[in-house]
Structure 1
Amino acid sequence: MKTNGNLLERQGFRNAMASIMAILIGMLVGLVILFISNPSNALPGFRAIATGGVKNPKNMGQVLYYATPIIMTGLSVGFAKKTGLFNIGASGQYVMGAFAAVYVGVKFTGLPAGIHCLVAILTAALVGALWGSVPGLLKAYCNINEVIACIMMNYIGMSTANLLVRKFVFDRAKNMSLQPAATAVLPKLGFDKIFVDGGAPSSANAGFVIAAILGVVVWVILEKTKLGFELKACGYNRDAAKYAGINDKKNILLAMVFAGGLSGIGGALYYLSGAGSGIPVLDVLAAEGFNGIPVALLGMSNPIAIIFTGTFMAYLTQGGLSMQSYGFPTQIVDIMSAVIIYFAAFALFFSQLIGKIKLAPKAAAQEKVETDHQELQDQTQQAEDGKGGEGQ
């Protein structure tokens, strides 16, 4: 047990160092891009992106606000990844969950505060889960690649959400959905008094707390329950899990249902924030769904780590907004963020590299021990043969 614990600790440390390495390299490449774009303001701009998230309390609150949806989509991608599936359909699940939450928030105004919000979130989870179940069914029973199915469901989800928004909850003046009723808006939990700058509060609310709690819940499910064991077993080796008596089809479907539900909740938490932003009617996939992929990669699909990596990516977003004050166009901010996201994909590579570097001396020492042991055995055998010859 102690050996297993040490192995897990070493693996966790290695993963953390790999993610930090990916972030540092991404930041360094981003700094080079800033120098190429505007040498005179490169360092101040870089300082802005590095410190913008903590420049004032309001910015800190905005970091929590931006982190909420990508933590949820990151948990969605990471949960599926732990079970051997690549849920690239978080964007479609997210926007369908968002519509469900806004619809309940706009139409069910007779519900009391608190209950109204809870019903909206649960409805979003249900719709997201149903949207995720489609590629899950296709994968489990038809062996259709979940990546292809998820990509198609993203576009279907985008178009369906646009159609439903226009038909049921459309604000023509703003080309977006109507705002949910006040009873459906997430409580502020005092964040509007903590994260304030000059009397202007941030958009932070209970959504971040809910996302963090769900991150812990997902970790418990994966690491401490029989269901989590079966899901991961199917991910490691579907055939072996099936041979061991685990229902592989059921678990593949459940994995995508859970993943879709998490993304759907992410959409609900973002659009029930009371920040004044409705669901836009645009032919563009929801970026939050795709931003969950690097969040999961940086966190090595660990639910607890995803909470921190999601917050870090939101920190970069807020820092990028601060960097624009130094004359950098939004495209430079997007490029720099994209570079860091790109290097997030190398986190696994860095983890393996660190493992090889750390294990190399141990491997050499082990090899020396084995060699010495073999030589000792050979010498003992020779001595016994010599004694046998003398006796004859």
Structure 2
Amino acid sequence: MKDKGLGNPLQRQGVQNTIAAIIAIFIGMAVGLIVLLFTDVSRAGEGMLAILTGGVSDLKNLGQVLYYATPLIMTGLSVGFAKKTGLFNIGASGQYMMGAFAAVYVGVKWTFLPAGLHCLAAILAACLFGAVWGILPGVLKAWRGINEVITCIMMNYIAMSMSNQLIRSFIYDRAKNQSFRPAATAELPKLGFDKIFVVEGGTPSSVNAGILVAILLAVVVWIILEKTRMGYELKACGFNKDAAKYAGISEKRNIVQAMVISGALAGIGGGLNYLAGAGTGIMVSDTLAQQGFDGIAVALLGMSNPIAIIFTGILMAYLTVGGLAMQSFGFVSQVITIITSVIVYFAAFILFFSQIIAKLAKGKERSNANAESPPPADLGKGGEGV
């Protein structure tokens, strides 16, 4: 009998994961609406409508969605790549901060480089610093068996303090308590986006070539994981390290390699964010970069699939822009933080939701199979037909 449904297990799993992610998002939005109702019942509907439509209310806001999505896609790729290889990179925040510092430092100091080369050098510096920041957790995990979550958390705080000190020492703007802005030659090209994503008579959005870089890197990461030997070995170690070791795959090498690549992706995210020409430098502050933790939500919602992470990164950015629009109705910005946090919380249960959906689907298939199968042969009376 032919399977009338999704016969391919991977296709079926993809549909189940998509449904589960939608459930998590729906719950988050429902909780957000409840908070708005308790805050101001008379304007709750307008506030929720602003969240849902703010990102597409005009071309400038749509451009801002893509601008905010750029670092989220990169940190989501960082967390997702590590997760595919059996690691939980909670250190994307620190790797992001170190990459941001490296990019801004090169952008401020290396003004002797021509425009195109200057921007490329800044991005490569961000990639290098992020990768270096991922090495130590990988080495400690590979050779000493130390849980990468613990070392990544410590590395986050070290990165925060170190980046503050490096900024004060080399590129500090005392008047603004932040780093100097990168030179114009180091900024990412606009590629005409400033002419597209703009409202008449207003300032253009901050979107630039960074969104294309993020999408391109997501595709590259997908190719590495799904179409190369290196990706196969990395995933094999993540699925079953003992079986991978038996097959001759070096577990230690792949752990370090995975953390280095993961750190490089987060570092590039920091570089792309601060080379956008949005008019700000890196603030000297005792807070961790939120983009690194938002990347966890992006990766969870995307089930660590690099292509899905593109869309979940845009979704999280869309909520951010919608939250800004919501403030015009008198609601505080923390409401969008609550919505995002609830989505993150329930995203952790996506696998649980997927398993329930899978069981329901299997139960339905079993019922259909039983209904279509022929009844047992009639053995007749007195043992006839035996």
Matched, 1:102 2:108: no
Q: CA deviation at 1:329?
A: 1.4
Deviations 1:225-257 (A, max 9, x none): 111100000000111100111011100110000
Greater percentage in helix = 1
Contact 1:95–1:267 under 8 Å retained in 2: yes
TM-score, L = length of structure 2: 0.94
Structure-2 separation of matches of 1:334 and 1:182: 33
| C-alpha distance in 2 between matches for 1:312 and 1:160 | 32
The 5-angstrom pairing of residues 1-392 of structure 1 reads 6-197=8-199, 198-365=201-368
Change (3 A) 1:173 1:11: same
Deviations 1:260-316 (A, max 9, x none): 000000000000000011111000000000000000000000000000000000000
**Contact (CA 8 Å) 1:30, 1:340: kept in 2 or not?**
no
Deviation at 1:359, TM superposition (A): 1.2
Distance in 2 (CA, whole Å) between partners of 1:336 and 1:246 is 42
Give the root-mean-square deviation of aligned CA atoms: 2.1
Q: So what's the TM-score if we normalise by structure 1?
A: 0.93
Q: Deviations over 1:185-222 (max 9, x none)?
A: 00001110001123310000000010000000000000
Give secondary structure in 1 for the equivalent of 2:115. coil
Question: What is the CA distance between 1:351 and its match in structure 2?
Answer: 1.6
Looking at structure 2, the residues matched to 164 and 354 of structure 1 have their Cα atoms a distance apart, in angstroms, of 50
Q: 1:366 to 1:62 in 2, by over 3 A?
A: same
Give a deviation string over 1:151-210, Cα, whole Å, max 9, x none.
000000110000000000000011001001111000001110001123310000000010
Letter in 2 for 1:153: M
User: How many Å separate the matches in 2 of 1:338 and 1:13?
Assistant: 24
The letter for the 2-side match of 1:154 is N
Q: Which amino acid aligns with 1:320?
A: G
Question: Rg: which structure is higher?
Answer: 1
| Larger CA deviation: 323-332 vs 260-269 | 323-332
Unaligned stretches of 5+ in structure 1?
387-392
SS of 1:29 mapped into structure 2: helix
What percent identity do the matched residue pairs reach?
65
Unmatched tracts of structure 2, length 5 or more: none
Runs of 4+ in 1 over 3 A off after TM superposition: 2-5, 363-372
Q: Which amino acid aligns with 2:102?
A: A
Partner of 1:389: none
Amino acid at match of 2:54: G
